[in-house]
Amino acid sequence: MHIHILGICGTFMGSLAVLARELGHTVTGSDQGVYPPMSTQLEAQGIGLMDGYHADNLKPAPDLVLIGNAMSRGNPEVEAVLNQNIDYMSGPEWLAREVLRHRWVLAVAGTHGKTTTTAMLLWILEQAGFEAGYLVGGVPNDFPVSARLGNSDFFVIEADEYDSAFFDKRSKFVHYRPHTLILNNLEFDHADIFDNVEAIERQFHHLVRTVPSRGLIVRPALDAHLDRALELGCWTGIQATSIGSEVPYMADWRAELLAEDGSRFMVVHHEQPVATVKWSQTGLHNVRNALAAIAAARHVGVTPDHAVAALCRFSGVKRRMELLADVGGVHVYDDFAHHPTAITTTLEGLRNKVGEETILALIEPRSNTMQQGVHQQTLLPSAAAADRVIWANLNQMDWLPELIEGYRATAEFPDRHSVESTVDALIDRVLEQVSGPCHIVIMSNGGFGGIHQKLIAELERKTG
């Protein structure tokens, strides 16, 4: 069968392309504004990529078109699919029908940390010999591709709350029917499709409704929005996670920090010490991710001590505080932060790791929610752990310069935040501010105009 994918370079649709190819299908796809790591992964898999959306991309007509949720009516290729009566469906529906049916699905949902937690859980199962299938919304460093069919009854999947397609406004994860479910957290996001956080809580409730009574739900002990989603109805056993003494009752899984930056911690199960995680990851968010992965792995038979041993060898995920270069002591990182909470936890984790060393954050508010200015009140405070912050206004959002000017008028250190509207201007500003060893964190959920390698090249030129 010839399957053509619209929006193929998105992390989810690109992973579907890999699975379809592994199933033996001929796979092609179209997209625009493509960037690594997904584009390079697809090319390595021998999947044909077409630049831009055109009716001619459908000649000869494929047997099936999978339409990504970024596609809408009016897109030339979408219109051609409908006018030519070509068979089509959403990516999540195809995945559920062709891959997930009759398998034990372990799903990871939440506003933050889905990709990393999915990769952690997958790595634990891999080290235990499960050979599970998987789909990760990114490229895990410990695996060559973002998805595979696997050789067992188990399938690990990143479960996104975003809608399925323009013709199916249900959240993707409603299709997956997990037996083991991790709920990492719940906050307001995706303002382009959700009116308020209550609408997201309702979608999470729909997901909870699909988990069997003999399944398991793992969640943090402290999350008011998850509380409300579960109060709408839950028929499945729940295990809670926490750090230290943050809750007044006994959580099922708890971490005792042995290093402030989260690089070492003791895993405690039902108040009994299990083993110590000592790894390369930092940040309390990753400690929480690890606890959830350990609990989920235990549900399918991996003992906690084996899970901890696996996590000690976990290499992380591309674009999650990925160290790209060390240019004469100037460390350049790439991070996928897309929400103020993600910015906060990432930068605080780095601060706890590097102490008083200088941190410079380059942040592109790129998500639909960010661009609409929904998070204006929390955006600047989210980067408090950085010494200097340069905001990229590449999409010419009127509210962002106004926000920075308002800060400067009242702040004790008015030059701490600045804004630039082009990548070149941003790089020039960085070069002005870098005078010695420091940590530069580039934060965006997109390609950021190719700034990563451009900046590294300029730093190397400057240091000569």
Rounded to whole angstroms, the Cα distance separating 352 from 196 reads: 33
DSSP bridge partners of 167: none
Q: Does a cis peptide bond (omega within 30 degrees of 0) precede residue 37?
A: yes
111 assigned binding-site residue: yes
Q: Tokens 């696996």, residue?
A: 310
Residue 63: other Cβ atoms inside 10 A: 12
Rounded to whole angstroms, the Cα distance separating 447 from 220 reads: 32
Could you give the residue ranges of the DSSP H alpha helices within 338-450?
340-354, 368-371, 376-382, 399-410, 423-433
- φ, ψ (nearest 5 deg) of residue 272: -110, 120
463 assigned binding-site residue: no
Please list the helix, strand and coil fractions of the chain in percent, rounded to the nearest 5, in that order.
35, 25, 40
Rounded to whole angstroms, the Cα distance separating 25 from 360 reads: 46
* Beta strands in 110-252, from DSSP E residues, in sequence order: 133-135, 147-148, 154-158, 163-165, 168-171, 180-183, 216-220, 237-243
Alpha-carbon Rg for the chain in angstroms:
22
318 assigned binding-site residue: no
Pairing relationship of beta strands 168-171 and 180-183 according to DSSP bridges? unpaired
CA neighbor of 323 nearest in space, from 338, 333, 315, 314: 333
Rounded to whole angstroms, the Cα distance separating 156 from 171 reads: 18
115 assigned binding-site residue: yes
11 assigned binding-site residue: no
- φ, ψ (nearest 5 deg) of residue 17: -60, -40
Angle between helices 114-127 and 284-299 (to 10 degrees): 50
114 assigned binding-site residue: yes
* Beta strands in 21-63, from DSSP E residues, in sequence order: 26-31, 48-51
CA neighbor of 400 nearest in space, from 428, 422, 380: 380
Rounded to whole angstroms, the Cα distance separating 149 from 183 reads: 24
Structure-token pair, residue 194? 């959700």
Rounded to whole angstroms, the Cα distance separating 380 from 40 reads: 34
Give the number of residues written for the chain.
464
Binding site for ATP: which residues?
110-116
